Amino acid sequence: MVSIVNTVGGILCGCALSQFPEYSQQYVQRMGGALDELATVVQDFDSSAKSAGYNRDEALAVMTGSEFLESRQNDMRRTFDRFDTLFEDYSRLKDANAFNRLAYVARMRDSEVFKGTVEDFKPAVPLTLEGASFVSIGFLFGYGLFAGFMRLLRRKPKQVAA
């Protein structure tokens, strides 16, 4: 019984982890699209600032005097920060294979890209070497996890001496 539970756990984890290469590919594609759109906004702002005789920081500094301008200033600061973060993350992830992306999984942190990727994600059949490797790793992890859990359940409590 225990071996069956461990095997099922391994299969479930293997199947789940086998989807990582496809998920990470779709995430990076979405990240690239988001980066392209943000680049347009950043370039438009910088161009407008330059034509008014300002650099980016100076243009942001003069966006005061009304609630709207100050709100817009904060929006643009967030946009610049998001652009910089996405650019750095994308630079590391775009040419990485699935194994390297797993090492950089913390760089898949943009909530909007994450949400869109999850909503549109279609599972892939792991027919590549990477996919098969992830199935194997996931299976071993799941089998070990369930084996450890089942071992905890089977432990008999120590009897206290009277």
Q: What is the pLDDT of residues 56-114, one digit of tens each?
A: 999 999 999 999 999 999 999 999 999 999 999 999 999 999 889 989 988 899 999 99
In percent, how much of the chain has pLDDT > 90? 54
Q: For residues 75 and 86, what is the distance between their CA atoms, to the nearest angstrom?
A: 16
Specify the amino acid at residue 141. F
Mind listing the pLDDT tens digit for each residue in 130-154? 777 887 888 888 889 888 888 888 8
Considering only CA atoms, which of 102, 56, 98, 62 is closest in space to residue 79?
56
Structure confidence at residue 51 (pLDDT): 97
pLDDT band of 22, cuts 50, 70, 90:
confident
Report H helices in 52-107: 56-61, 67-93, 98-103
pLDDT band of 162, cuts 50, 70, 90:
low
Q: For residues 28 and 86, what is the distance between their CA atoms, to the nearest angstrom?
A: 10
pLDDT band of 42, cuts 50, 70, 90:
very high
Structure confidence at residue 133 (pLDDT): 82
Q: For residues 128 and 98, what is the distance between their CA atoms, to the nearest angstrom?
A: 11
Q: Which residues contact 144 (CB under 8 A, 6 or more apart)?
A: 10
Q: Are 3 and 146 in contact (CB under 8 A)?
A: no
Structure confidence at residue 43 (pLDDT): 98
Q: Is 90 helix (H, G, I), strand (E, B) or coil?
A: helix
Specify the amino acid at residue 120. D
